[in-house]
Chain A
């Protein structure tokens, strides 16, 4: 069939082009391309974006057949065989669109944002490597290849967070991200082992076919271990601590990796393992509880953060919690829908914040901003669209996705989760518009010199903003309408095949819920308006009135301190014990002791070596004599 032939070429190119871009740019970028280092990577990523759209279109035309291609064998060791195998089905198609398009826009944006940076070529090389790894992750048709991409994006995340590695905080943040992710990946690896031991394969189809035959206890463990990996990668409580710190990286990285694509990998992986999870209700419950808790917890922290990127980072943690809440509640398609929409509007928000930072000459503290609305209008309007999409006001993207999740919680009978979701939605509205109001409204609080330099970003940065603002605004309406039976649901139907669909009653409970949640969001906006525009003295008084609640939020619920106290200090203490006692006393003691022992022997034996030949000759004669006497005595008797 001609179609799959083209698909094979497309998939191969999607994976290989960014990889080639990475190698070429890394090798030649510094000497040869210099300030033109972006040309090749950007061109390649543009091609892959087009190919991604093509692949998506293929899925669109063949909704009920998945494209499976085992390109070549990768690992073959006895019973354990893994191929470089690719799978393109509706779920992959959605991810391809997110990664391809946002990836491309972020590349273009970076041309402006990273201009004149000494690591220009390095930045684009890493971005291309990231694209490669991310595509491998979403195209893989087995867990091991997925894990390859998973670790690859983790590596790129590390490299790009600590991109400005001369800055101590940046290199620390990179290490933190890497280490925290190791914890999750450890669980993921164990999960893979368990899958292989029970089913004998790592191929998705092979595993899922046997899903029903796996014992419920084993299946629960598999799901929980896989979810541990997702908790690390998608920054869920308690492994969320790395994501806010990851904001030390350049802003395009935050947009691409830490909002739109990589952090979604955990959600994607859980969604991909859907046939396993639907069999394990306890695991689903865990997913939902962790997601719900993370959602409200991160939203609460986001309210008091002053760093513009930190606010959006906690918002991302909260949004990811929302997605897991949806998956856990069984609203699979809604979760992926939210992922899809979130990729666009959160990427948009990050790129806008980058544009703001760019305009402010590197300033990230919102307390030093204000009144930017008139000075950088494109950024303002696009960011406003992003914020509205985030808080979920009709008819923007977030509205459809968020309300499907909340509706799903409600209709599945998880009323507590639904209530927490509503509170989270309220908090989200407050912090999103706190950000907008503090940044763009009121009087400017920046110094005169900074104010003088404020300027709108170049076209290469604003055009991606506009291009992202369009889907952020309209995507929900286009693919989410009508709710629960909209296009995205029909599209994802082949993947999430046996989820029972409850009819959405537009003018009944569902409609009521929607109106209610929009009202809550608008209330949040109003609260933000009162607090940060009308009566700006109120937040300070509130903080003084509720010092405990305020400080807990400002200090990120002391999670960093908890980690510092418990695992980090005990690890360091243990390492110190290993060093001062075990290494110095036991190991060095044994080695040095052996050395001293032989030295002692040598010291005793040294006098024998006089260096006089005759002494040796005397020994020989004496020995000979003894031998002769002994032999004579033996023979004689």
Chain B
């Protein structure tokens, strides 16, 4: 068993934990944190594959850098929306965001 296998197992575990969190948690902030977890799981997978198969400075590394940048931006915007929404609704629970439901 090469150590790539363990790295990928870690990535899959982290991804599943993140996905599970996104699906079951009701708190928006936790959901965003879980999203970050999923993104970082992907980062780990990319970097690991890049390291073991294509050299340290391969395309995988480059992708993970992009993802980190995008994740930062995404979190900024996402949290800003959460704050704005919180000011209006006084809640961060997704099941209470149901005004449009007929």
Residues of A within 8 A of B100 (CB): 611
Instruction: Kindly state whether residue B90 has any CB partner on chain A within 8 Å.
Output: no
Which stretch from B19-27, B42-50, B72-80 is at the chain A interface?
B19-27
Per a CB cutoff under 8 Å, which of B19, B22, B95 touches A612? Answer: B95
Interface residues of B in 23-51 (CB under 8 A from A): 23-24, 26
| Set A609, A610, A614: member contacting B22, Cβ < 8 A | A614
Are B94 and A613 in contact, with the CB atoms below 8 A?
yes
Q: Are B94 and A612 in contact (CB under 8 A)?
A: yes
B101 within 8 A of A: yes
What is the total number of residues of chain B having a CB less than 8 Å from a CB of chain A?
11
Type the 1/0 row for A529-547, where 1 means its CB is closer than 8 Å to any CB of B: 0000000000000000000
A621-B94 contact given A611-B100, A611-B101, CB 8 Å threshold: no
Q: Taking the complex as formed, is B88 at the interface, i.e. its CB lies under 8 A from any CB of chain A?
A: no
Q: Shortest distance in angstroms between A605's beta carbon and chain B's nearest beta carbon?
A: 13
Interface flags for A606-637 (1: CB within 8 Å of B; 0: not) read 00011111100110010000000000000000
User: In the bound complex, what is the Cα–Cα distance between A613 and B98 (angstroms)?
Assistant: 10
What's the nearest-Cβ distance from chain B to residue A615, in Å? 9
CB neighbours of B101 from chain A (8 A): 609-611
Cross-chain pair count, CB within 8 angstroms:
20
Task: State in angstroms the CA–CA spacing of A610 and B95 once bound together.
Answer: 10
Report yes or no: B23 in contact with A611, Cβ–Cβ below 8 A. no
Contact B98 A621 (CB under 8 A): no
Contact A614 B98 (CB under 8 A): no
Nearest CB of B to A268, in Å? 72
B19 near A614 (CB under 8 angstroms)? no
Q: Nearest chain B CB to A607's CB is how many angstroms away?
A: 12
Chain B residue at smallest Cβ distance from A622: B23
Determine if B24 and A621 form an interchain contact, defined as CB atoms under 8 angstroms apart. no
- Establish whether residues A618 and B23, one from each chain, have CB atoms under 8 Å apart when the complex forms: yes
Nearest residue, chain A, Cβ from B28: A613
Query: Which listed residue (A609, A610, A621) contacts B23, Cβ 8 A?
Result: A621
CB distance from A629 to the nearest CB of B (A): 15
A601 to chain B: closest CB distance in Å?
A: 16
B2 → chain A, closest Cβ, in Å?
A: 21
Does A617 contact B95, Cβ atoms closer than 8 Å?
Answer: no
CA distance A610 to B101 in the complex (A): 7
- Residue of B19, B23, B24, B100 with most partner-chain A CB within 10 A: B23
Q: Is the CB of B23 within 8 A of A617?
A: yes
Residues of chain B within 8 A (CB-CB) of A621 are 19, 23
Rounded to whole Å, the gap between the CB of A627 and the closest CB of chain B is 15
0/1 interface trace, chain A 186-229, chain B, CB 8 Å (1 if under)? 00000000000000000000000000000000000000000000
Interface string of B90-102 (1 = CB under 8 A from A): 0000110110110
| A612 to B94 alpha-carbon distance, docked (Å) | 7
Closest to B22 in A: A617
Interface residues of B in 52-102 (CB under 8 A from A): 94-95, 97-98, 100-101
Residues of chain B with a CB closer than 8 A to A609's CB: 101
State in angstroms the CA–CA spacing of A602 and B78 once bound together. Answer: 33
- Separation of A614 and B97 alpha carbons in the complex (Å): 12
Nearest opposing residue in chain A for B101, CB measure = A611
Which residues of chain B have C-beta atoms less than 8 A from A618's C-beta?
23
Which residues of B are found within 8 Å of A613, using beta-carbon distances?
Answer: 94, 97
Query: Which residue of B has the minimal Cβ distance to A611?
Result: B101
Nearest CB in chain A to that of B99: its residue: A611
Q: Please tell me if the beta carbons of A611 and B22 are within 8 angstroms of each other in the complex.
A: no
Residue of A nearest to B25 (CB): A614
B13 to chain A, nearest CB (A): 16
CB distance from A490 to the nearest CB of B (A): 91
CA distance A461 to B26 in the complex (A): 97
B26: nearest chain-A partner, CB-CB: A614
Which positions in B face A, CB cutoff 8 Å?
19, 22-24, 26, 94-95, 97-98, 100-101
- Give the top 9 A-B pairs by smallest Cβ distance, nearest first: A611-B101, A611-B98, A618-B23, A614-B23, A613-B94, A617-B22, A617-B23, A621-B19, A612-B95
Sample (16) of A-B pairs whose CB atoms are under 8 Å apart: A609-B101, A610-B101, A611-B98, A611-B100, A611-B101, A612-B94, A612-B95, A612-B98, A613-B94, A613-B97, A614-B94, A617-B22, A617-B23, A618-B23, A621-B19, A621-B23
New contact pairs (18) apart from A612-B98, A614-B24, CB-CB < 8 Å: A609-B101, A610-B101, A611-B98, A611-B100, A611-B101, A612-B94, A612-B95, A613-B94, A613-B97, A614-B22, A614-B23, A614-B26, A614-B94, A617-B22, A617-B23, A618-B23, A621-B19, A621-B23
